[in-house]
A = this chain, B = another copy of it.
Amino acid sequence: MGIITVIGSGLMGSAMSIPASDNGHLVRLVGTPLDREIIRSLQEKNVHPTLPCTMPDGISAFQFEDVRKALEGADLVICGVSSFGVDWFAQEALPLLPAGVPVLNVTKGLLGHSDGSLETFPHFFARLRPDLSFAAIGGPCTAYELGDRRQTLVCYCSEDLATAKFARDLLKTPYYHIVPTTDVIGVECSVAMKNAYAMGVSLAIGMSEAENEQQRNVKKVENSLISGAHDGKLHYNPQAALFAQSCIEMRRLVRLLGGNGDLVGGIPGAGDLYVTIFGGRTRRLGTLLGRGLPYSEVKKRLAGVTLEAVSVTTRVAEALRIRAKHKEVSLQKFPLLMHLDALLNQEAPLALDWESFGESGMQE
């Protein structure tokens, strides 16, 4: 049995301690400076304030001041911060990691650079610590359900297959299934973009809701018979159309960045998109935009929380614009993403161009 140190005790980082501890490993959960209350709660009551499952035995919690102690003898370090904590992790935690320890990253996102290039977090970390080997997790896995030991299927990607397999062997359980791959770009690009596109698919949910309300009002006022089944149900043809278009654009982006487009029709693409649509805040963000609210109003309703969907949409749209200027890509290949960016960053009104969607001759 080994020692697994998780840095970042938010939902996903903490949930990773469930399969780790089920496999008999000692788990050390280290909080970031933002996780102070979580760690205190774990230390005092063995209760995680937001993850509803009881934490198993064999887990110890550390404030970040004690990170060195928590890293002693670790067989694996898990980076459990969200994409907004990546810079913090790179500056504060990465330099402290012991030589030779493999790192498994749960963070989803992409970094944008001024030349239009997009960088995965494992590649970013490897630039800073070229002596270490990095892997990353991608696939449909909500923290709550992993914590509840639901059947879950993910990819572990690493340019060094042995690192991905090493992490898999430590963490796989009868409910947590792990497929190793060397396609870091394919996995990381898919799982980053699924946040943007889950917002995109959710537009259709908001459009249905708004239409249903309107129909109810019309009915109230005119008391007239209205054609069709305006029964308050969500409509799935438009959701499915946006789901398909999301997969098409994700595949184009993965191929543009040099990954295997097949991953999009699999675990980190379609699979992760599916689970994210039924998730919490990204669905709510897309639904509110789909109801026709301007993003400035949506932001108020979301209590100012910036979501990963907003950040990745903005970054990737900007990267594509730079590349389009250099004639490396046509923005017409990404009509849904560019409209999402316009909704978020230009207060554009909702106006999906359905005719621009589709495989366009399957040439890509």
A140:B360 contact, CB within 8 angstroms: no
Contact indicator per residue, chain A 221-252, by CB within 8 Å of chain B (1) or not (0): 00000011110000111111101110110110
Task: Chain B residues near A207: list those with CB within 8 A.
Answer: 151
A260 to B94, CA, bound (A): 43
Taking A52-B228, A228-B52 as contacts, is the C-beta distance between A140 and B361 under 8 angstroms?
no
B147:A228 contact, CB within 8 angstroms: yes
Interface 9-mer from A71-79, A176-184, A310-318: A176-184
Interface size in chain A (residues, C-beta < 8 A):
68
A153:B357 contact, CB within 8 angstroms: yes
Taking A241-B153, A362-B181 as contacts, is the C-beta distance between A247 and B235 under 8 angstroms?
no
Interface 9-mer from A59-67, A128-136, A262-270, A321-329: A262-270
Task: Chain B residues near A141: list those with CB within 8 A.
Answer: 237
A237 to B358, CA, bound (A): 28
**Which residues of A (131-186) have their CB < 8 Å from a CB of B?**
139-142, 144-153, 155, 177, 179, 181, 183
Contact indicator per residue, chain A 267-303, by CB within 8 Å of chain B (1) or not (0): 1011110110011000000000000000000000000
Least Cβ distance of A207 to chain B in Å? 8
Task: Chain B residues near A250: list those with CB within 8 A.
Answer: 265
B236:A140 contact, CB within 8 angstroms: yes
A228:B358 contact, CB within 8 angstroms: no
B247:A270 contact, CB within 8 angstroms: yes
B152:A237 contact, CB within 8 angstroms: yes
- Contact among B181, B243, B361 with A359 in the assembled complex (CB-CB below 8 Å): B181
A345 at interface, CB cutoff 8 A: no
Taking A145-B236, A177-B357, A357-B177 as contacts, is the C-beta distance between A244 and B266 under 8 angstroms?
yes
Smallest CB-CB A-B distances: 8 pairs: A244-B271, A265-B265, A140-B240, A179-B358, A153-B241, A240-B275, A148-B228, A151-B238
Q: List residues of chain A with CB under 8 Å of any chain B CB.
A: 52-54, 139-142, 144-153, 155, 177, 179, 181, 183, 204, 207, 227-230, 235-241, 243-245, 247-248, 250-251, 260-267, 269-272, 274-275, 278-279, 352, 354-355, 357-362, 364
What are 24 A-B pairs with beta-carbon distances under 8 A? A52-B229, A53-B229, A140-B236, A140-B241, A148-B229, A150-B237, A151-B207, A151-B237, A151-B238, A151-B354, A153-B240, A179-B358, A181-B359, A183-B362, A236-B279, A241-B267, A241-B271, A244-B271, A244-B274, A247-B271, A251-B262, A251-B266, A262-B265, A266-B359
Knowing that A140-B241, A177-B354, A247-B266 touch, tell me 15 more A-B residue pairs with CB under 8 angstroms.
A140-B237, A144-B229, A145-B235, A147-B228, A151-B238, A151-B352, A153-B237, A153-B241, A153-B354, A177-B241, A179-B357, A240-B271, A248-B265, A265-B270, A266-B358
